[in-house]
Structure 1
Amino acid sequence: MDYSNERVAIFVDGANMFYAQRVLGWHLDFARVIEYFTRGREIYNAFYYTGVQVPPDNSQRDFLTALRHLGFTIREKSIKETLDQSSSSVIRRANLDIEIVIDMFSTVNRYDVAVLMSGDGDFERAVELIRSRGKEIVGVGTRGMISSELENACDRYVKLEDIRSEVEKVR
């Protein structure tokens, strides 16, 4: 089958992939990720969503600069700190789920296949609606960190463990 005129959009939930890599014990090479998911297809765009520390952390800045050089559109939000009253611990987070969904919908006419790199079940309804518009949705995550709702909503779900040789950062 000839996929050469199909366009792919990649949406990376940065926090989800950060924890996935920690669980896996190896790192993703995002140039190889793009290569793997576009094989024989055209890339429309790749988006990376992440929380950033204020002031910015140098290693994260360097990482985001490298992603920009690969052609990623970076969406970032300042990390907010809140105190968990029950444990007295500080919770740091920057939720970018809405930004991911907005980009998936606002660009829906520019791609044929959406690759959603997240295991977050909050995306289930958005995935169902995008599929109803005739788009193929490929979910990507790691075992033990994939919501069954999201996995079932996608056309197919790729486990990072199964494609390690294709997407791992080789040092």
Structure 2
Amino acid sequence: MKTVWIADAAYLFNFARARNGIDYLKLKNELEKANGGPIYESYYLNSIQDPSTEAQNAFHSWIKSAPPKGPKMRVQLYKLKDMHNKCPNCAHQFDRQVQKGVDVGIATLMIKLAAQDIYDRLILSAGDGDFEDAISYIKSDLQKEIWVNGAEASLSTDLQSYSDRVLWLDDMLPTIDKST
């Protein structure tokens, strides 16, 4: 059975931020253990600032590296966009950067790879219920198996309801912790 893993990096970052961080190589090893064998292809999708920092470039280079050095993931990066905000109470204006295109990129990649028959099983590390339509189509119309990898506190019940199996990040934490 060919398995593809797609990781929403912002989702995993938010999970890791409240902890000691997570190690993507250890996470991939845990997913392969649950899968009963190797993962055929892995994808890491995220947004970055432009220009990117040296630390970001080094991390993205590492994440592309093959085991035992790295998790060997294909990296797809999107630009951040400025979001203009205005305080309703004081009229103060401020900007902040937000992701642009990552969720659409994930949904497109899931459907494209399924339609090309690249995988039999998809492991999606994400929690956003916005993926429900894509997951439903892949499962019902394209007859692919869907596993969702997420946190108990932030995994959409819509995604849970379509998944063939849920792999809880919380249960994996002792193994994937970056500090161990």
Same topology, TM > 0.5: yes
Identity %: 24
Q: Deviations over 1:9-51 (max 9, x none)?
A: 010001111111113x122211122222223323221000010
Structure whose CA Rg is larger: 2
1:102 equivalenced with 2:108 (yes/no): yes
- 1:110 is paired with a residue whose SS is coil
Which letter maps to 2:111?
F
1:64 equivalenced with 2:37 (yes/no): no
- 1:107 is paired with a residue whose SS is helix
Alpha-carbon RMSD across the aligned residues, in angstroms, is 1.6
* CA–CA separation in structure 2 for the residues paired with 1:135 and 1:8: 10
**TM-score normalised by L of structure 2:** 0.84
* CA–CA separation in structure 2 for the residues paired with 1:85 and 1:153: 38
* CA–CA separation in structure 2 for the residues paired with 1:110 and 1:134: 13
Alignment of 1:11-26 (within 5 A): 11-23=6-18, 25-26=19-20
Q: How many residues align?
A: 165
Q: Deviations over 1:126-169 (max 9, x none)?
A: 11111122211111111221211112121122221111233222
**Unpaired segments ≥5 residues, structure 2:** 66-70
Judge conservation of contact 2:20–2:179 (CA < 8 Å) in 1.
no
Cα distance, 1:81 vs structure 2: 1.2
Q: Deviations over 1:36-76 (max 9, x none)?
A: 22233232210000101112122222111111113211110
* CA–CA separation in structure 2 for the residues paired with 1:76 and 1:26: 24
1:131 equivalenced with 2:139 (yes/no): yes
Instruction: Indicate the larger mover: 43-52 or 55-64.
Output: 55-64
Which letter maps to 1:85?
K
**TM-score normalised by L of structure 1:** 0.88
Q: Which residue of 1 aligns with 2:125?
A: 117
**Unpaired segments ≥5 residues, structure 1:** 1-5
